[in-house]
């Protein structure tokens, strides 16, 4: 798909990986809307950086754990930037929880933010793109890229609600790839350790790197490349691209 002149929505696009993806799409020629929850200042900075690249940009606040309507976010984006053709579901939380201390609140927050929001955003996006395609309003095809995690397909015993919600995201990727074809491709990226959790020290990173076949942690640009590869392809759908340095093996 030609990204030049397209419009993308990146959830969680104000900070860290989501921000790198938003900037990567802008560098490839897309106008970009980002959603943020608490990072209002960083969202403004990301918007300014995209504008400085010569693309249009806008940020919308949306709390996926609260009173959130996916359709509103998609419509707001289209009102600001025109018909959407790319949706990247990157926003997520990653909170502790083993089998015996996971609470219902922890479970519900993970499933709301990490799975329910991506599903209903994809539904709203799918309706818009398919509707515009059928009515001839837009000849653009659509792409959804879900940012998953290798743990989704090789679950351990930690971060239970996070892992199960991400497993749902991988299943959703395959289901929607079938449901939304042929106009829309749906894929996922499964990163390994790219940006360590805030507060992680050098010793944590060295310990992690030693456990990874590539003997290092990844970089946001490696995830961006995977996203751009998926968006470039007109034939890959329902796929999961690992960006792990081999950790998932």
Q: Which positions lie near ligand NAP, rule CB under 6 A?
A: 12, 14-18, 36-39, 62-65, 90-94, 113, 147, 149, 191, 193-195
Q: How far is the CB of 236 from ligand NAP (least distance, A)?
A: 20
151: closest CA among 109, 203, 114, 119? 114
Smaller CB separation from ligand NAP, 47 or 91: 91
Q: Token pair 């034939």 is at which residue?
A: 235
What SS3 state is found at 90? coil
Smaller CB separation from ligand NAP, 17 or 160: 17
Instruction: Read off the tokens for 31.
Output: 């106008």
Q: How far is the CB of 188 from ligand NAP (least distance, A)?
A: 10
* Cα gap 77→84, rounded to integer Å: 8
Q: Token pair 């806008």 is at which residue?
A: 58
Q: Would you say 125 and 84 are in contact if contact means Cβ atoms under 8 Å apart?
A: yes
End-to-end CA distance of the chain: 31
The answer to whether residue 162 is catalytic is yes
Q: Would you say 212 and 247 are in contact if contact means Cβ atoms under 8 Å apart?
A: yes
Q: How far is the CB of 241 from ligand NAP (least distance, A)?
A: 12
Smaller CB separation from ligand NAP, 132 or 148: 148
Smaller CB separation from ligand NAP, 83 or 87: 87
* Cα gap 77→172, rounded to integer Å: 23
Facing residues of 9 across strands? 33, 87
Q: Which of 36, 162, 229, 242 is catalytic?
A: 162
CA distances from 60 to 14, 22, 72, 86, 195 (A): 10, 14, 10, 16, 24
Smaller CB separation from ligand NAP, 15 or 230: 15
Q: How far is the CB of 11 from ligand NAP (least distance, A)?
A: 6
CA distances from 129 to 33, 87, 225 (A): 16, 11, 24
Q: How far is the CB of 33 from ligand NAP (least distance, A)?
A: 13
Smaller CB separation from ligand NAP, 111 or 130: 111
Q: How far is the CB of 113 from ligand NAP (least distance, A)?
A: 5
Q: In what order do the strands lie in the sheet with 31-36?
A: 57-61, 31-36, 7-11, 86-89, 142-147, 184-191, 240-243
Write out the catalytic residue numbers: 162
């Amino acid at each position: 798909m030609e990204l030049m002149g397209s419009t993308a929505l990146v959830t969680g696009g104000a900070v860290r990986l989501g921000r790198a993806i938003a900037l990567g799409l802008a560098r490839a020629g897309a106008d970009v809307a980002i959603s943020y929850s608490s990072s209002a200042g960083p969202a403004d900075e990301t918007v300014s950086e995209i504008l400085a690249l010569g693309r249009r940009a806008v940020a919308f606040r949306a709390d996926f754990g609260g009173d959130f309507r996916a359709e509103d976010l998609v419509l707001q984006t289209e009102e600001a930037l025109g018909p959407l053709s790319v949706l990247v579901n990157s926003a997520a939380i990653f909170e502790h929880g083993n089998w015996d201390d996971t609470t219902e609140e922890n479970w519900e927050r993970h499933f709301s933010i990490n799975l329910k929001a991506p599903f209903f955003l994809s539904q709203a996006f799918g309706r818009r793109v398919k509707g515009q395609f059928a009515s001839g309003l837009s000849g653009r095809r659509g792409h959804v890229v879900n940012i998953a995690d290798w743990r989704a397909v090789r679950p351990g015993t930690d971060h239970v609600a996070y892992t199960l919600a991400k497993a749902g995201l991988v299943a959703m990727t395959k289901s929607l790839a079938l449901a939304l074809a042929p106009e829309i491709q749906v894929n996922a990226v499964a990163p390994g350790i790219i940006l360590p959790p805030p507060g992680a020290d050098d010793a944590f990173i060295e310990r992690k790197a030693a456990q990874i076949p590539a003997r290092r942690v990844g970089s946001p640009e490696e995830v961006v490349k995977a996203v751009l590869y998926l968006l470039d392809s007109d034939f890959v759908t329902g796929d999961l691209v690992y960006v792990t340095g081999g950790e998932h093996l």
